[in-house]
Structure 1
Amino acid sequence: MTSLVLTLVARREATTLTPATIALARDAIGATGETVTLSAGEAVDIPAAPTARDALPALRTALGAQAVDAILTPTQNRRKTLLVSDMDSTIVANETLDDIGAHAGLGEQIAAITTRSMNGELDFAASLRERVALLRGLPTSLLEKAWRDVTLNPGAVELVRTMRAHGARTALVSGGFTFFTARVAALCGFDENHANTLLTDTAGTTLTGQAGQPILGPDTKLHLLETLAHTHACPPAATLAIGDGANDLPMLRKAGLGLAFHAKPVVKRDIAAQINHTSLRTALFAQGYPASAFVSD
């Protein structure tokens, strides 16, 4: 049977991993070996029996309100050689289309459609076309204004640069727009980025209210994961996908490790490996990286 490891990670701004919390986790999963410290007070690995999968929901309940994430992974192919990550609300804190809408005075209207789309209540392509249509006739300068609002989520740079330093291929993929993904990819150090395009008039000064075709949606994200794994001879078990919304579900299900990052309820119901309290650093701890191996520049 497959050997497993439980990774506990605490949000250090709120709490710390105490011996009592570690002991609770060890008892809950039937620990089979010694606890390994990945970052003092922040992250540990606990070898676990295969039956630990059944115990994980009860452990999360037992952890209660503590700002601690618990992620169970196989020990084989633990360090991934391909990362495919969503951008909005994952690598960055923003929903960039919502931010464009806010600067256009359409914030609530566009954000409401985004929320329904990310919750899986609307077809992604149709919802994107509906939102983009609202921008027709508006100046492209809104994109620069929205860009000034973009904030990287904590741990984003460490995640990408650490994995690249250890030989992984990294790709940023978004149902948003290349205007943002190209810049975010450069900031974090992604090898490549993929997204939709916003069409403009011939002068490049006004938005037409249309996106370039075909629309990059959930099936495209899955196809990218599969294509990159094949191109770079990466076994399926050695792939990592990270996302938060319904349009990320196909790639999260397919990846060797699919991580739901502060995800929408529809995603949490489907994906067992979840980062609910902590930062993107947890995606490295879940691969067994100690904090001393992290690369941030």
Structure 2
Amino acid sequence: MDHVLTLIAPRGGLSAAMLHRAREALAALGAAAGTPDWLAPEEAADLPFAGLSPDQADAAARAALTGEAVDIIAQDTAGRRKRMLIADMDSTIVTTETLDELAGQAGIKDRIAAITKRAMNGELDFEGALRERVGMLKGLEVAALERTWEETELMPGARELVATMRAAGARCALVSGGFTYFTGRVAALVGFHEHHSNTLLEAEGRLTGHVAEPILGRNAKLATLKRLAAEDGLALAETLAVGDGANDLDMIKAAGLGVAFRAKPVVAAAARARVDHGDLRALLFAQGYRAAEFAGS
């Protein structure tokens, strides 16, 4: 069949009954639905179908599974496995907003986090908001960066996502509105081929309150996706982009599989695919990988 509906839940949270309800919802609209294929027991399964568009199937399955902690991704079967991964860092590959955590070292986390929240939901210009937040850190000792890094945790599934896609030959890039101090360490730890981000300026062991220009923001993330795809001779349909904030939205919309991951409301509403409940392994299931194929766990 030419389309597939993938259901993904936190481990142990997906039942055969849920699959049956989704299958019945598609059938009620006249679709031909095939036999479910479990990608991981009680965690992820594919439901092949024909006769509906992916958007129609997505809406029908969501209506049938209202209230369930399950993620639903409907797409074409052809070309599911992507040849490039472009990932945001903060609240995507790592669990926190590193700038907010760095602000905690200066005792102003709440003030900066409030600006971050508005910027990530598209209420503020990203570049201006970044300059404002960095300016509030003027004079903070550079050693605070290392203390922040020591407390930074990876999002569950990050290593498996990158290692599995690398093993399949995909180029993996970390593209962040955050800072090179963190993206370089995250890229090395997780296994990204490269990282692109902003640079905090420092002098005499303290932050100057400035960030190097030009700032890597929303437009630059999209431009990086297009440039890296062109370098590898890939169509955008062959790429996967994932992020949570408004500055990720253009690259998410442009990618062949664009995923809003535990995203801000404006991003979740606009993205074609979203993951609200699962971890980053969900991006592998969405590409049809079975848990037995995962690397890096």
- Partner of residue 223, structure 1: 223
- Which letter maps to 2:34? G
- Partner of residue 19, structure 2: 22
Structure 1: tracts of 5 or more residues without a match: none
Pairwise CA RMSD? 1.3
- Partner of residue 70, structure 2: 68
SS of the aligned residue for 2:183 comes to: helix
CA drift of 1:31 comes to 4.5
CA drift of 1:71 comes to 0.6
Q: Distance in 2 between matches of 1:174 and 1:161?
A: 19
Q: Distance in 2 between matches of 1:187 and 1:109?
A: 30
SS of the aligned residue for 1:28 comes to: helix
Out of 60-69 and 207-216, give the one that drifted further.
60-69
SS of the aligned residue for 1:210 comes to: strand
- Which letter maps to 2:5? L
- Partner of residue 214, structure 1: 214
CA drift of 1:232 comes to 0.7
The 5 A counterparts of 1:175-214 are 175-201=177-203, 203=204, 205-214=205-214
- Partner of residue 39, structure 1: 40
Say yes or no: does 1:95 pair with 2:97.
yes
SS of the aligned residue for 2:230 comes to: helix
Q: Distance in 2 between matches of 1:246 and 1:77?
A: 27
SS of the aligned residue for 2:22 comes to: helix
The 5 A counterparts of 1:267-278 are 267-278=267-278
% identity of equivalent residues:
53
Structure 1 residues 158 and 31: CA distance shift in structure 2, 3 A: farther
- Which letter maps to 1:214? P
- Partner of residue 288, structure 1: 288
SS of the aligned residue for 2:33 comes to: coil
- Partner of residue 160, structure 1: 162
Q: Distance in 1 between matches of 2:46 and 2:148?
A: 40
Q: Distance in 2 between matches of 1:251 and 1:122?
A: 18
Q: Distance in 1 between matches of 2:212 and 2:63?
A: 45
| Structure 1 outlier segments of 4+, above 3 Å | none
**After superposition, what is the alpha-carbon deviation per residue over 1:234-279, rounded to whole angstroms, capped at 9, x for unaligned?**
1211100000000000100100000000000000111120101000
- Which letter maps to 1:223? A
SS of the aligned residue for 1:269 comes to: helix
- Which letter maps to 1:268? A
SS of the aligned residue for 2:270 comes to: coil
Indicate which of 172, 175, 184 corresponds to 1:173.
Answer: 175
**After superposition, what is the alpha-carbon deviation per residue over 1:207-232, rounded to whole angstroms, capped at 9, x for unaligned?**
00000000000111001100110101
- Partner of residue 109, structure 1: 111
CA drift of 1:150 comes to 0.5
Task: Count residues in correspondence.
Answer: 292
**After superposition, what is the alpha-carbon deviation per residue over 1:53-81, rounded to whole angstroms, capped at 9, x for unaligned?**
22423422332232211111211111000
The 5 A counterparts of 1:76-91 are 76-91=78-93
Q: TM-score, normalised by structure 2?
A: 0.95
